[in-house]
Amino acid sequence: MNISNLLDCSVMSGGGASFGDKLADIGRELITIIINGLSVGGIYAMIALGYTMVYGIAKMLNFAHGDIIMVGAYAIYVVMLISNPIVAILCSIVVCILMGVLIEKVAYKPLRGASPLAVLITAIGVSYLLQSLAQIIFGSDPKFVVVYDFGAINILGVRIQVFTLVTLAVTVVVMVALTLFVKMTRIGRAMIAVSEDKGAAQLMGINVNNIITVTFAIGSSLAAVAGLFYLLKAPTVSNTLGAMPGIKAFTAAVIGGIGSIPGAMLGGLLLGFVECIAAKITVIAPYTDAIEFSILIIILLVRPTGFLGKKRREKV
C-alpha cells in the first residue's frame, strides 16, 4: 500500500471553465502534488534517517527498522486507550528505544565481526519475529487510532491538512539536529571514528559497544516519530504496517547515499514526490511501486553510492 493513496489535500474545483480558471486549477493541482509529496516524503525521510544512521555508524542494515515503527504505532495505540496523545508519544519513543537497544544486544551484538550477510539475515529474521509477535498479541485485524486532529487550512484555494506541514517541519528539524549531533558533539566524533575503523577506535579507548547502543537508541527513537507520522496520515495499526514504508525508506536511503544524513532526506523527499506524481497520472498509477524501485535500480547502475554517498576508495 502506498501512503499517498490517502490524500491529505485535495483541490476544491470551481464550476467555471474559462482558460484562467483552468490555469488556476493546474496551479492548485501542482500545489497539491507538492504538499502531498513533501508529506509522504517527510515520512520516508524520517524512516530513512534511522536506516542511514545505523548503517553509517554500525555498518549494518537493520531491516527490522520498519517493524520498530510498527512497535511504536502499537505503543501509541495502547497508551491512547488510557491516556492522552502527549503521554502516548513519549511512551512510544521510550518503548522503541528499549526495543531497538534490546534487539541490538540480543541479535546483533553477538554477531559483531561476523560476515555482513549473517547480520543481514538476522535482521530479516528479527523483522518477521516482531511482525509475528504483534500478530499474536494484537491479532491480525487492524486497530483504529486517531492520535490528534490538527485540522486543515486553506492556502490559495487548496485545502491542506496541517499535519503534513508538521511532519515536514519535524523531519527538517530532526535532520539538522542529527547532523549537528554527529558533527559537533564529542560522542558524534567518536561515532565517526567507529564508523571509519571500529578496531582502531576501540584501541584508542572508545567503547564501541556503547557507541553502537547510542546509535540504535537514536535510530529507534526516529522510528517512533515515524510511527506517529504514519498514524497521523493513516490512522490504522496492523502488524505489517512497517514493512512497506520500511523498504521504501531503505530505497530512499540508498538513492540519497546510505550513510549520509542529508542524503536520506533528499532520497525520502524524492521518493515522496515520485509516488505522488505517479498516483496522479491514471495510466501509471497502478505501477507506482514498480516505478520507485526502478529508480533505485537505475541510480544503483549509474551512481552506486547514491546522490550524496561517499565514493568508496579501493584499499590496495
Phi, psi of 236 (to 5 degrees): -130, 140
* Contact region with another protein (CB under 8 A), list: 2-10, 97-105, 123-131, 192-200: 192-200
What would the x/- binding string for another protein be over residues 145 to 184, using CB under 8 A?
Answer: -----------------------------------xx--x
Q: Which amino acid is at 37?
A: G
Residue 133 neighbours by CB under 8 Å, 6+ apart: none
Q: How far apart are CA 102 and CA 290, in angstroms?
A: 35
> Among residues 150 and 181, whose Cβ is nearest to another protein?
181
Size, binding site for another protein by CB under 8 A: 23
> Among residues 22 and 189, whose Cβ is nearest to another protein?
189
Q: Are residues 245 and 69 in contact, defined by beta-carbon separation less than 8 angstroms? A: yes
Q: How far apart are CA 96 and CA 72, in angstroms?
A: 6
Residue with cell 544486544: 105
Does 286 help bind another protein (rule: CB under 8 A)?
A: no
Site for another protein in 208-237 (CB under 8 A): 208
Q: How far is the CB of 189 from another protein (least distance, A)?
A: 6
Does 185 help bind another protein (rule: CB under 8 A)?
A: yes
Does 307 help bind another protein (rule: CB under 8 A)?
A: no
Does 192 help bind another protein (rule: CB under 8 A)?
A: yes
Q: How far is the CB of 299 from another protein (least distance, A)?
A: 23
- Neighbour-count burial of 172, counting CB atoms closer than 10 A to its CB (0-12 exposed, 13-18 middle, 19+ buried): middle
Q: How far is the CB of 312 from another protein (least distance, A)?
A: 11
Q: How far is the CB of 188 from another protein (least distance, A)?
A: 8
Query: Contact with another protein (CB under 8 A): which of 20, 113, 151, 205?
Result: 205
With H, G, I as helix, E, B as strand and everything else as coil, classify residue 154. Answer: strand
Query: Contact with another protein (CB under 8 A): which of 14, 16, 125, 199?
Result: 199
Does 204 help bind another protein (rule: CB under 8 A)?
A: yes
Query: Contact with another protein (CB under 8 A): which of 5, 13, 83, 207?
Result: 207
- Of 101, 112, 126, nearest to 215 by C-alpha is 101
Q: Are residues 178 and 45 in contact, defined by beta-carbon separation less than 8 angstroms? A: no
Q: Are residues 159 and 30 in contact, defined by beta-carbon separation less than 8 angstroms? A: no
Radius of gyration of the chain (CA): 20
| Residue 153: CB atoms within 10 Å | 12
CA angle, 89 then 95 then 97, to 5°: 105
Q: How far is the CB of 134 from another protein (least distance, A)?
A: 32
Does 206 help bind another protein (rule: CB under 8 A)?
A: yes
Q: Which residues bind another protein (CB under 8 A)?
A: 180-181, 184-187, 189-190, 192-193, 196-197, 199-208, 310
